[in-house]
Amino acid sequence: MISWICFDWNLAGDEIPALPAPPLTLRSCDRGDRDVVLKVLLDSFAMDTAWGDVARRIEEAMEDCVKQAFDSPEPACVVAQHGQRVVGASLLDARSGASNHLVSGPMILHEYRNRGVGSALLAGSLRFLRSRGLESARGVTRPGSTVARFVYPKFGGVQSSFAGDPFEASRG
């Protein structure tokens, strides 16, 4: 059985800082970004040891979630770019009642980790969700994962337990 933890953010409160510095940029995705987003997500999960025991489950879930997100005219996804290269992605669920708004969480290619890209992508994701009218956001992850230890506690993220399967909850 996979254990999960949840982080919640109040988006109605203080402004969320814009963190990226040149040459890093954040932007919302369009439908043409589908393949590169899926590749970045799968490569990032594969290089994070917290997900190794459920790699196949993550791969299937990400493929389904990316397909669902990019079937929309305006996909709920933010990417981090270094120059023209997409180096990180955060797949989102902008429905107010979603149990997991940060579907993938901020996932960064291995060679760009430990540079503040994950924090910048989390900030961009929270700003994106706020711009879609959400007053609060929730991100579900595994205990001990990189985002649980170093990224999600930022910007007022409050940790709690989570029961169920966040990938099933994010569908449809």
| Domains defined for the chain, CATH in brackets | 4-170 (3.40.630.30)
pLDDT at position 167 is 64
* 22 pLDDT above the threshold of 70: no
Neighbouring C-beta atoms of residue 130, cutoff 10 Å: 17
Instruction: Give the model confidence (pLDDT) of 52-86 as tens digits.
Output: 667 778 788 889 999 999 998 899 999 999 989 99
Query: In DSSP terms, which residues pair with 28 in a beta bridge?
Result: 78
- The residues, ordered by sequence, that sit 6+ positions from 103 with a Cβ below 8 Å of its Cβ are 65, 69, 91, 92, 93, 166, 167, 170
Whole-structure pTM value:
0.90
pLDDT at position 135 is 95
Phi, psi of 106 (to 5 degrees): -75, 115
- pLDDT class of 111 with cuts at 50, 70, 90: very high
144 and 121 Cβ atoms separated by less than 8 Å: no
In b/e form, how buried is each residue of 133-150, taking b as 16+ CB within 10 angstroms? ebeebbbbbbeebbbbee
Tell me the mean pLDDT in the region 160-171: 69
Find, among 103, 105, 104, 113, the residue nearest to 82 by Cα. 113
Tell me the mean pLDDT in the region 20-49: 87
